[in-house]
Amino acid sequence: MTLLPHALPTYDDVAEAAYRLKGMAHHTPVLRSSTADAQMGAQVFFKCENLQRTGAFKFRGAFNTLAQFSDAQRRGGVLAFSAGNHAQAIALAAQLLDMPAAIVMPEDAPASKMAATRGYGAQVVTYNRYTEDREAISRRLAQERGMTLVPPFDHAQVIAGQGTAAKELFEEVPDLDYLFVCLGGGGLMAGSLLAARTLAPQCKVVGVEPEAGNDAQQSLRAGHIVRIDTPRTIADGAQTQALGELTFPIIAAHAEDIVTVSDAQLMQALRFFAERMKTVVEPTGALAWAGACHGGLDLRGARVGVVVSGGNVDLSRYARFLAD
């Protein structure tokens, strides 16, 4: 069945997404670290979406959404605005499904990201982020070209796709007591909560945000969506200003809590992944682990899942983080 973009997704939609993604997305590994276990006095299970296709979980939501396009939508193709991991995810999913894709990016976006997006066959349309409104440009382009706009998180099929990472983890590692998930707009967290509610109802799902951008924590406490100014943080995938109309109600209903971490704690987590686990993680991808370490929850004796959400980071920037 086709799920409407504005309907609230359920666990069944996550299960259907998993079926669609079979053979298309990687079933990413779950890594362990005796250092992490000893440090926490717990058993820690890292779900490594930094090893997903295009380097982040976003491929799951993108492919699940594009695979449900009608024939007419396929012919018109897909449009997205993003300077980050959503761009590459949409570009690759479109290439695999043989449809045109256009990605709207600021003209000063990193050259490596533009090149990667073009490398997957998408057209990159640039705009000036100081003088032009990307949403207006995207809407106009979508209309002129008959393309379908796919947003990065506030979309039922995107949320359902993102939930498949946690579904894999719960199926592989039973009896988790906690799951730590980072959040920006909350697509990954909402999808993870849908998976948890059915597959591991006893598991407490904790969201992790940058300290400077704690809009989700404020929203949870206030009981409505709180909007903030674009936060300053090295976690560029979590620089969102607000949760979405679909992600908020799911998170408000089912999240255990939302905790925050500082940029210094994120850098410490990056170094842990590099030094101890030999794996490259981007700052946003390290949020969940930093939250498990510094979020103030007593995890001794617990079985703890940690979603490592992505690994796309400019190497010179990464080197600076490791050296600091």
Ligand X SMILES: *Cc1c(COP(=O)(O)O)cnc(C)c1O
Q: In the range 218-277, which residues lie near ligand X by CB under 6 A?
A: 237-238, 240
Q: Which of 43, 282, 291, 305 binds ligand X (CB under 6 A)?
A: 282
Q: In the range 76-95, which residues lie near ligand X by CB under 6 A?
A: 84-85
Q: How far is the CB of 146 from ligand X (least distance, A)?
A: 27
Catalytic residue (choose from 58, 113, 167, 204): 58
Catalytic residue (choose from 33, 192, 219, 309): 309
Q: How far is CA 158 from CA 7, 8, 67, 188, in A?
A: 12, 11, 11, 9
| CB closer to ligand X, 100 vs 306 | 306
State how far the Cα of 5 lies from the Cα of 153, in Å rounded to an integer.
11
- The answer to whether residues 166 and 23 touch, using CB atoms and an 8 Å cutoff, is no
Q: Look-up: residue for tokens 């979405």?
A: 244
User: DSSP of 3-36, one letter per residue?
Assistant: PPTTSPP-HHHHHHHHHHHTTTS----EE--HHH
Q: How far is the CB of 52 from ligand X (least distance, A)?
A: 9
- The answer to whether residues 205 and 176 touch, using CB atoms and an 8 Å cutoff, is no
Q: Mark whether 309 is an active-site residue.
A: yes
| CB closer to ligand X, 43 vs 54 | 54
| CB closer to ligand X, 31 vs 183 | 183
Which of 199-231 are b and which e, b meaning 16 or more Cβ less than 10 Å from the residue's Cβ?
A: bbeebbbbbbbbbbbbbbbbbbeeeebbeeeeb
| CB closer to ligand X, 59 vs 100 | 59
164: contact with ligand X by CB under 6 A: no
The size of the interface with ligand X (CB under 6 A), counted in residues, is 23
Which residues lie near ligand X (CB under 6 A)?
A: 56, 58, 84-85, 152-153, 162, 182-189, 237-238, 240, 282, 284-285, 309-310
Just list the catalytic residues. 58, 309
